[in-house]
């Protein structure tokens, strides 16, 4: 096709706009179908080749290939059993705990049980009241019952020793803390269940003394009484809720550690006996029932609900996994 355009100066020139055949269009028209056919054929041949080479693996082959994964054995201290943290994964991992082996699955299940048991008890350094000893007994019961039902005798033995060591370390920490300078012993004859007092620190005491001395319009007699009470708190301290009758506290822990968690009748009797024991302790602390408030009864009810809840939780944790009777020795 030709068109005409105006030149500068007014003349026209002719421009040829006919498409030039370079051969590329025709060449592409020929090659594109050939390329498609070639790659389509290649994919088809590969698919047939893969299909011909695929087959089901036998059980022996599957087992062999699984065993090809390198086994990993980790040496850990028995104290690590009580560490609720768990990070290792893989069926090829085993744990050597003082010569006793645990599979990865056994360790994972055990860590879950221990984590739940530790949730029953306070952290180290806390004041341990009589109910806390009952909770420690339930925690120990949880671990020992699970171990006897799901682990070998050797495994259960080392787990039990490790948990006992942890509980004993809690008691040692409390004993050392209560023996410090900030605590004192109450020597009154009528005090049996709570005989430890915590002294008021000197800086807060001095601040209170300054405030009392600066109170306007206070009688001198009233000021003397307040200052005397502050000095008493500094020198003798206020009573703490730490169980002082250790023979009684350890007896409570022992009874709850041995109760059959599946025997509801025995559990009910044990809690009733516990309430009878701690009633005297709570009364010494100052809890009583009045017409307008049932302080003692409310505290006993709280204890009952807490202990029953912990034992129900323990049963659920113990029954979470199927029974295992695995014996692995070095």
222-262: pLDDT as tens digits: 777 677 666 666 665 667 889 999 999 999 999 999 999 99
Residues 146-151: what's their mean pLDDT?
A: 94
* 93 or 223, greater pLDDT: 93
Q: Does position 45 have pLDDT exceeding 80, yes or no?
A: no
The percent of residues in the chain predicted with pLDDT above 90, rounded, is 39
Q: Is residue 91 part of a domain?
A: no
Q: Which of 10-14, 15-19, 101-105 reaches the highest mean pLDDT? A: 101-105
* Contact criterion met (CB below 8 Å) for 194 and 286: no
* 39 or 98, greater pLDDT: 98
The percent of residues in the chain predicted with pLDDT above 70, rounded, is 66
Q: Is residue 308 part of a domain?
A: yes
The rounded distance, in Å, linking the Cα atoms of 69 and 103 is: 15
Hey, what are 182's tokens?
């900030």
Q: For the sheet containing 183-185, what is the strand order?
A: 183-185, 196-198, 238-239
Q: Is residue 141 part of a domain?
A: yes
Helix (H, G, I), strand (E, B) or coil at 119: coil
Q: Does position 11 have pLDDT exceeding 80, yes or no?
A: no
Q: Is residue 194 part of a domain?
A: no
Same domain as 296, residue 163: yes
Residues 72-96: what's their mean pLDDT?
A: 79
Report pLDDT for 140: 97
Plot region of 9 (φ>0 → left; ψ -120 to 50 → alpha; else → beta): left
How many CA atoms does the CB half-sphere of 54 hold within 13 Å?
A: 6
Q: In this predicted model, what pLDDT tens digit does every residue of 57-76 receive, in sequence order?
A: 677 666 656 655 677 888 88
Q: Is residue 93 part of a domain?
A: no
Same domain as 282, residue 205: no
Tell the burial category of 115 from Cβ atoms under 10 Å away from its Cβ (0-12, 13-18, 19+): middle
Q: Is residue 188 part of a domain?
A: no
Q: Which of 2-11, 138-147, 196-205, 211-220 reaches the highest mean pLDDT? A: 138-147
> Which of 148, 149, 116 is closest to 135 using CA atoms?
116
Grade residue 276 by pLDDT with cuts at 50, 70 and 90: very high
Helix (H, G, I), strand (E, B) or coil at 98: coil
Q: Does position 50 have pLDDT exceeding 80, yes or no?
A: no
Same domain as 165, residue 35: no
Q: Is residue 266 part of a domain?
A: yes
Same domain as 296, residue 171: yes
Same domain as 212, residue 135: no
Same domain as 142, residue 33: no
Same domain as 286, residue 262: yes
Same domain as 257, residue 164: yes
Q: How far is CA 79 from CA 13, 148, 162, 164, 166, in A?
A: 101, 19, 6, 10, 8
Report pLDDT for 327: 42
The rounded distance, in Å, linking the Cα atoms of 212 and 206 is: 10
DSSP character for 4?
E
* 36 or 70, greater pLDDT: 70
Domain boundary among 235, 260, 278: 235
Q: In this predicted model, what pLDDT tens digit does every residue of 103-136 receive, in sequence order?
A: 988 998 999 899 999 999 988 888 999 999 999 9
Same domain as 251, residue 308: yes
Spacing of C-alpha 142 from chain mean position: 15
Between the two ends of the chain, the Cα-to-Cα distance in Å is 96
Plot region of 217 (φ>0 → left; ψ -120 to 50 → alpha; else → beta): left
Q: What is the pTM of this model?
A: 0.68
* Contact criterion met (CB below 8 Å) for 283 and 193: no
The rounded distance, in Å, linking the Cα atoms of 161 and 289 is: 42
Same domain as 253, residue 175: yes
Same domain as 260, residue 214: no
Residues 214-229: what's their mean pLDDT?
A: 73
Burial of 30-42, coded b for 16+ CB within 10 Å and e otherwise, reads eeeeeeeeeeeee
Q: Is residue 306 part of a domain?
A: yes
Residues near 111 by beta carbon (within 8 Å), at least 6 away in sequence: 83, 84, 85, 86
The domain total for the chain is 3
Same domain as 276, residue 177: yes
Q: What is the span of the domain harbouring residue 277?
A: 106-181+242-318
Q: In this predicted model, what pLDDT tens digit does every residue of 277-323 receive, in sequence order?
A: 999 999 988 888 886 778 899 999 999 999 999 999 999 988 875 44
Q: Does position 165 have pLDDT exceeding 90, yes or no?
A: yes
Report pLDDT for 40: 55
């Amino acid at each position: 096709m030709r068109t005409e355009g105006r030149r500068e100066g007014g003349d026209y020139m002719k421009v040829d706009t006919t498409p030039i055949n370079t051969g590329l269009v025709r060449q592409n028209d020929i090659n594109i179908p050939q390329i498609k056919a070639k790659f389509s054929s290649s994919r088809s041949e590969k698919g047939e080749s893969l299909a011909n080479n695929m087959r089901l693996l036998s059980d022996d082959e599957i087992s062999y290939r699984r065993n090809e994964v390198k086994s990993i054995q980790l040496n850990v201290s028995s104290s690590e059993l009580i560490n609720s943290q768990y990070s290792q994964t893989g069926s090829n991992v085993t744990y050597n705990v003082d010569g006793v082996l645990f599979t990865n699955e056994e360790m994972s299940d055990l860590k879950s049980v221990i984590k739940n048991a530790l949730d029953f008890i306070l952290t180290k350094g806390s004041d341990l009241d009589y109910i806390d000893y009952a909770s420690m007994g339930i925690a120990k019961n949880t671990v020992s019952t699970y171990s006897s039902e799901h682990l070998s005798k050797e495994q259960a033995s080392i787990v039990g020793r490790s948990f006992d060591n942890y509980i004993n370390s809690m008691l040692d920490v409390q004993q050392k803390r209560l023996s410090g300078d900030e605590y004192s012993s109450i020597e009154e004859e009528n005090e049996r269940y709570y005989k430890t007092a915590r002294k008021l620190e000197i800086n807060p005491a001095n601040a209170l003394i300054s405030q009392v001395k600066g109170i306007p319009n206070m009688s001198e007699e009233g000021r003397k009484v307040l200052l005397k009470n502050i000095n008493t708190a500094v020198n003798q301290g206020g009573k703490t809720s730490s169980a002082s009758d250790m023979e009684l506290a350890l007896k409570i822990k022992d009874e709850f550690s041995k109760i059959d968690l599946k025997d509801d009748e025995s559990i009910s009797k044990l809690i009733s006996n516990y309430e009878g024991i701690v009633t005297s302790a709570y009364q010494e602390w100052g809890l009583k029932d009045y017409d307008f408030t049932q302080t003692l009864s409310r505290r006993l009810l709280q204890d009952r609900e807490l202990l029953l809840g912990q034992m129900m939780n323990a049963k659920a944790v113990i029954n979470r996994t199927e029974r295992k009777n695995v014996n692995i020795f070095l």
